[in-house]
Structure 1
């Protein structure tokens, strides 16, 4: 006979319920091989952070010191008191944010047109557009500078923003992603009376968030780290970006390395934040764009 405890629990003395076994975690040997490589890439960044808290004498000595002998804030103090670093920071933020927003809007419109609208010569036009990616910037920087000068935008933030309003790579990336999306939902919305622009805004763009996030991150990184074009287009200190302002720390006969390290640390922080926020979307968007070509 069953005991009262067995009746309540619904078990019998001759039958026992085995606990589910947990699956064993397998070791991914690729991670074991990639860990030393990741450490190799992290070490220079880690030393840069540590060097920003060193004095110039400790940075310049040989062999180089790996750990600061104390917390020295001379580099950070020089950055914020002897330069226009806050203004340079705001200039970089303004240029990067405008470039990101304009690329998301304009690239989305162009990419959706090439992906969904069929017109004569669309394939040839898209091929010619993509072919311009192979043209190096060194061939176009002088005509671009002359154009900015004729427009009255030389030595202004407008000269940094206007050439970066839209990118061919952004059009290509979003177009490939749009091709991978099913047409059924769009066709149903068109039958219900939605226009092409409403379909793009209300249906396509919400589905394309991974590609949009990837484009935003890549555009931000490119605009934020750009040095060549600001070096050509900007000549006034008030219009310097961060990358251009950091070059002023290195003199002809003397370089303030503690200030260089401190400025690089502050400049790198926004890049790391953007990367951490968008890293999960890279693989998803790039995989989706490879479905159709």
Structure 2
């Protein structure tokens, strides 16, 4: 191993430790007692591992309902996003029609518009459709994203057109081609979309805060904000629930890890 490589690896390890340290501190602190949590100087590891903060959070915070709401929103929104973005990306990559370039430019142009700019118009549409204070008001707006469409298009540009023509000659319809040919080929980029969508929807706070007013329909991120009062913060329960909320995203990433890396590596290899 070259000395230059050793220095690079040391730098990467240090940066990784700096990134992991706050997460590790959060998880370990969630197992501390109140006395240890507020002791000075602080200790990284708890003297005795305690589950009292987890029990208190579930007893006081009704977190079972909030986890269910977040699960429904995240899974449904992710499935819709994957389906719609994959179909749209396939159409823009493999079909030539009048105005397709203008449509693609329009999609990409929306990436330059901050979300805060379009929140009011989206909220008016949601209110007009009667989806205010409804989980569908969180699920539907992000069901199609320009980023997802662009990533799928770039990935599918690498698929030979001759492969699709051969399937058509064999009598396959367009839906059959999409279902049996494109979807299996696009598994890596679908995994990328699934991970990003799951992470965005699970961690989303601002949009649910705007759309949802009924506490029984809160997502997990809105519920976490309840531990922050005007004059004090319930740090024990907040740390405990924050630790639990990391688990679903971590599990999804580990499940799709191989496809995720392959999708990132191969997206954009053909323009």
Q: TM-score, normalised by structure 1?
A: 0.88
Task: Output one character per residue of 1:160-211: Cα deviation in whole Å (capped at 9) or x when no partner.
Answer: 0110211111111111111011222211111111112211111111011100
Output the CA distance in 2 between the equivalents of 1:198 and 1:139. Answer: 39
Gaps of 5+ in 2: none
Equivalent pairs counted in the alignment come to 269
1:254 corresponds in structure 2 to: 232
Shift >6 Å, 4+ stretches: none
Give yes or no for the alignment of 1:290 onto 2:268: yes
* Residue among 129, 145, 148 paired with 1:170: 148
Instruction: Give 1:35 deviation, angstroms.
Output: 1.3
Give yes or no for the alignment of 1:48 onto 2:26: yes
* Residue among 134, 141, 159 paired with 2:137: 159
Give yes or no for the alignment of 1:273 onto 2:251: yes
Output the CA distance in 2 between the equivalents of 1:255 and 1:72. Answer: 19
1:135 corresponds in structure 2 to: 113
Output the CA distance in 2 between the equivalents of 1:71 and 1:199. Answer: 55
Instruction: Give 1:26 deviation, angstroms.
Output: 8.0
Output the CA distance in 2 between the equivalents of 1:267 and 1:114. Answer: 36
Task: Output one character per residue of 1:11-49: Cα deviation in whole Å (capped at 9) or x when no partner.
Answer: xxxxxxxxxxxxxx8895343331121111111111111
Contact 1:211 1:281 (C-alpha < 8 Å) held by counterparts: yes
Structure 1 window deviating more from structure 2 (70-79 vs 85-94): it is 70-79
* Residue among 47, 69, 85 paired with 2:47: 69
Contact 1:84 1:238 (C-alpha < 8 Å) held by counterparts: no
Output the CA distance in 1 between the equivalents of 2:187 and 2:221. Answer: 30
Give yes or no for the alignment of 1:236 onto 2:220: no
Gaps of 5+ in 1: 1-24
Instruction: Give 1:73 deviation, angstroms.
Output: 2.1
Give yes or no for the alignment of 1:32 onto 2:10: yes
Matches within 5 A, 1:87-102: 87-102=65-80
Q: In angstroms, what is the RMSD of aligned CA positions? A: 1.6
SS of structure 2 residue aligned to 1:41: helix
Contact 2:94 2:161 (C-alpha < 8 Å) held by counterparts: no
Give yes or no for the alignment of 1:227 onto 2:227: no
